[in-house]
A and B are shown apart, each in its own frame.
Chain A
Amino acid sequence: MAAQERKLPAPAVSQETQAYWDAAAKGKLLVRKCTSCGQAHHYPRTICPFCFSDKTEWIEASGKGAIYSYSVMRRAPVPYAMAYVTLAEGPRMVTNIVDCDFDKLKCEQPVKLVFKPTDGGPPLPMFTPA
């Protein structure tokens, strides 16, 4: 719907997060998890922001989550729903809620993963009501 008409800028891929964006291109959402303290974090880093261990690895997210908070940007040329989604794996991530009636969104609403194309870059992980 509305969000599909937005032109999304390409993310600036860095050496540290190349694998995340390569996986996104294949329709997979990766989360970085620390094998030392056992906690997953977002955005992904090689050194764990909780225990500072460098023993971190990629895991594939289930794609399930719930809206932590959201806001529909009414003043944009094409309105869109900014959100934080709590992933089933734990971390909350900045994202958009798409392909839905913005007026029916609620905090704690279950959502599932979708990908949306960007302007010349890898696709962005977004969410839609489950």
Chain B
Amino acid sequence: MSIKGKAYIAGIYEHPTRLAKDISLAQIHAQVAKGALEDAGLTKDDVDGYFCAGDAPGLGPMSMVEYMGLKPRHVDSTDTGGSSYVLHVGHAAEAIAAGKCKVALITLAGRPRAEGMATGTVPRSRGGTPTPDEPFEFPYGPTVVNMYAMCAMRHMHEFGTTPEQLAWIKVAASHHAQHNPHALLRDVVTVEEVVNSPMISDPLHRLDCCVITDGGGAIVVVAPEIAAKLKRPKVKLLGAGEFVKTQMGGKVDLTYSGARVSGAAAVAEAGVKPADIKYASIYDSFTITVLMQLEDLGFCEKGKGGPFVADGNLIAGTGKLPFNTDGGGLCSNHPGNRGGLTKVLEAVRQLRGEAHPAVQVKNCNLAVAHGTGGSLGLRHGSATVILERE
């Protein structure tokens, strides 16, 4: 069975806040759910499927189901970090295709800024019963940033990728963020500013890193017969793929990501080629994340990501592959340190023709949204969806 054409994204909402001092985590989940349902023209009582990940308070989906007064007949709280919500879109389509639900709600919320969390630079133990990998990793000081940095270091060693090429990814994101009134960072930056920003963990500078923000977002995925009755532009799911890439028992290879598998599965199911895609939402926790995923999704050859992203090739209006036109996680929003959901949102805006006019891609009829969750250098979940304007 394929999910091609079996589900549509009918509603989206991104919380405008980037610092949520005065609202609770559950409150943000409910606010974004309300926003996405209103965008779709649906109500809370239409929801019969609910999807969330580890950012939701409580055990799996249960506390939020209760808080929002939902009555789902299908739930899924699969957590693959920041990629979870891209994966949930695929899982929602599977559930809809199997007749398990017709209106699936996906929510994300987080408050790392308000809570003063040291997101990227402090090793974190999960607490409780240690994972089998923890004693062999945690005492050495793995952080979010240094494990991604090791991927960048190896990429530079094997392929000659340069800090300036990586910097172009931030530069492109900043060109887009200047048009987003909600973006945390709205100043356009230069390659020189990126490579001269303080070194965090070699070879990644401060401006190679994404923002840390509070907020959230929601997506409503519906069955074709529901989409047909709604008034919003129709965004159809053509294909989805997922993968978990690990250290493979010590056969570590930092030069590629799980996008190689999830992306290939998604485009195969959709029956499209990377060259057909007009707009790309690419997970951007760090500049290196974008570069590796672009290679792994087939937009360029492995190792050629550096030249591909350079010279503004990712900037809407001038480049060949406009990416993250909302400013992405690098400049606009990375709610709860989980950037997958906002990737889907901007892809839907582009396909609806509702992106900011300065960054709207002309005749945008085919888009990809891709997420990487967990740690690119340790173990991560990848999820890809291919979306089409009908």
Nearest B residue to A40 via CB reads B250
Complex Cα spacing A84 to B157, Å: 14
Other-chain residue from A8, A75, A93 in contact with B136 (beta carbon distance below 8 A) = A93
B154 neighbours in A (Cβ, 8 Å): 68-69, 107
On whether the beta carbons of B132 and A43 are closer than 8 Å, the reply is: yes
On whether the beta carbons of B249 and A71 are closer than 8 Å, the reply is: no
Per-residue CB contact flags for chain B residues 115-144 toward chain A (1 = under 8 Å, else 0) read: 000000100010000101111111111110
Min distance, Cβ B273 to any Cβ of chain A, angstroms: 32
- Range of interface residues on B (Cβ < 8 Å): 35 or more
Min distance, Cβ B178 to any Cβ of chain A, angstroms: 28
Nearest A residue to B205 via CB reads A74
B229 neighbours in A (Cβ, 8 Å): none
With contact pairs A11-B135, A71-B153, A107-B154 given, residues A94 and B254 touching in the complex (Cβ less than 8 Å):
no
The interface centre, meaning the residue of A9, A84, A94, A96 with most chain B CB atoms within 10 A of its CB, is A94
A96 neighbours in B (Cβ, 8 Å): 140-141
Count of A-B contacts judged by CB separation below 8 Å:
123
Is B231 interfacial (CB 8 A cutoff)? no
Per-residue CB contact flags for chain A residues 70-96 toward chain B (1 = under 8 Å, else 0) read: 111111100010111000001111111
Nearest A residue to B199 via CB reads A74
With contact pairs A14-B135, A17-B135 given, residues A94 and B200 touching in the complex (Cβ less than 8 Å):
no
A84 neighbours in B (Cβ, 8 Å): 150, 252, 254
On whether the beta carbons of B250 and A12 are closer than 8 Å, the reply is: no
On whether the beta carbons of B202 and A76 are closer than 8 Å, the reply is: no
On whether the beta carbons of A8 and B150 are closer than 8 Å, the reply is: no
Per-residue CB contact flags for chain B residues 196-235 toward chain A (1 = under 8 Å, else 0) read: 0011111110000000000000000000000000000000
On whether the beta carbons of B250 and A82 are closer than 8 Å, the reply is: no
Min distance, Cβ B224 to any Cβ of chain A, angstroms: 42
With contact pairs A42-B136, A82-B141, A124-B139 given, residues A69 and B150 touching in the complex (Cβ less than 8 Å):
yes
On whether the beta carbons of B150 and A82 are closer than 8 Å, the reply is: yes
Nearest B residue to A43 via CB reads B136
Nearest B residue to A9 via CB reads B139
Q: Which residues in A have some Cβ–Cβ distance to B below 8 Å?
A: 6, 8-14, 16-17, 21, 39-43, 45, 48-50, 68-76, 80, 82-84, 90-96, 107-108, 118, 121, 124, 126
Top 5 A-B pairs, shortest CB-CB distance: A91-B250, A11-B135, A71-B149, A49-B249, A41-B249
11 contacts between A and B (CB under 8 A): A9-B138, A9-B139, A11-B139, A45-B249, A68-B154, A69-B150, A70-B153, A71-B203, A74-B198, A82-B201, A107-B157
Excluding A11-B138, A75-B201, A82-B150, 9 further A-B contacts by CB distance (< 8 Å) are A39-B249, A40-B250, A69-B157, A70-B153, A73-B201, A80-B141, A82-B141, A84-B150, A96-B140
